Amino acid sequence: MSTCYIPENLTEALEIRKKTHAIPLAGGTDLMVQAKNGIGVNPSFPSPVMIITNLKELRGIRVEDDGTLVIGALATSSEIAHDERVFFHIRKAASQMGAVSLRNTATIGGNIANASPKGDLPQPLILLDADLVLSSIDGERTVKVDDFITGAKKTLLRDDEIIKEIRVSPVKATHYFYHKIGTRKANAISKLSLSVLVDVEEGIIKDFRASSGASGDKVKRSREAEMILIGRAVAEIPSYVDEFTNAWNRILSPHAMPEYRRESTKRMLKDFLLKIAEGAEPGIYE
């Protein structure tokens, strides 16, 4: 049986983390599954476990004076899904994260730390260039979610650190798209997920971003492909849409994403872009 610690505050937790390298455990919706030994048998962990649900410093959602959204690492998917201050793509992804019971337990920090290529929340966070604040007893550091996750189940988290919060700077957009495909609505593991945002001003694409989950060893986003469209007139989209979708297709893993899923992704991107070219009103599309 693993040693278990239950700190009462962040400082105590960071001291334990540095001394013992205990695994932080909050909702446990990923870790408990990974550590299971069978029905009726206690799960086994390779290291001591530290239950961090008491840490008030990691809770809450707020918006700072400059518009930066701050989500505590212990915020659950349900809390995120029901908070109108949270950006659309994050809120939508949280709302489709399995069954209600899972959403009431699973935390955003755990979903990021698990670093599953099929994880629901890293995908929109990478779209929005979100930052992570990582705390240790020696201080804090900030790293992009896109940089933090280095591959499947691989991150930059040190064994003396805990994810404290997620920070998302304001992003201007006129058109939003999100879609997830799973085997079933309840407890659905993503087979394909796609987020897109576009900002159009006076007929010019000022910003364009897209991110795809379940498409490789981590969430895929191509800033090179995005630049094909940024700065173009909306009327030019039909002339460049195939170049863009072909460039996007090249970043998707053929092993993680079979041809039919790749084609589905390309079709969703193309259809959304052509709607904008045809004069689609600003708003949310799914």
Q: Could you tell me the residue range of the domain that residue 44 belongs to? A: 4-168
What are the distances in angstroms from CA 49 to CA 42, 46, 232?
A: 13, 9, 52
Domain match, 98 and 228 both: no
In whole angstroms, how large is the CA radius of gyration of the chain? 20
Task: Kindly state whether residues 14 and 140 are assigned to the same domain.
Answer: yes
CB 198 within 8 A of CB 205: yes
Cβ contact 196:130 at 8 Å? no
Chain segment 245-285, per-residue pLDDT in tens: 999 988 887 766 677 778 888 999 999 999 999 999 999 99
Distance CA 77, CA 68 (A): 19
pLDDT digits (tens, 9 = 90+) for 133-165: 999 999 999 999 999 999 999 999 999 999 999
Boundary residue ending a domain (133, 168, 203): 168
| Co-location of 183 and 248 in the same domain | yes
130 and 182 belong to one structural domain: no
Residue 64 has pLDDT above 80, yes or no: yes
Q: What is the rounded distance in angstroms from the CA atom of residue 232 to the CA atom of residue 208?
A: 10
Q: Are residues 226 and 148 in the same domain?
A: no
Half-sphere exposure of 163 (CA within 13 A, CB side): 33
Same domain, 153 and 213: no
Confidence band, pLDDT 50/70/90 cuts, at residue 24? very high
Tokens of 217: 């060893």
Confidence of residue 44 (pLDDT cuts 50, 70, 90): low
Which tokens go with 132? Answer: 């992570």
CATH of the domain at 210: 3.30.390.50
One-letter amino acid of 7: P
Kindly write down the DSSP assignment for every residue of 149-183, as one continuous string.
EEETTEE---TT-EEEEEEE-----SEEEEEEEES
**Rounded Cα–Cα distance for residues 81 and 100 (Å):** 11
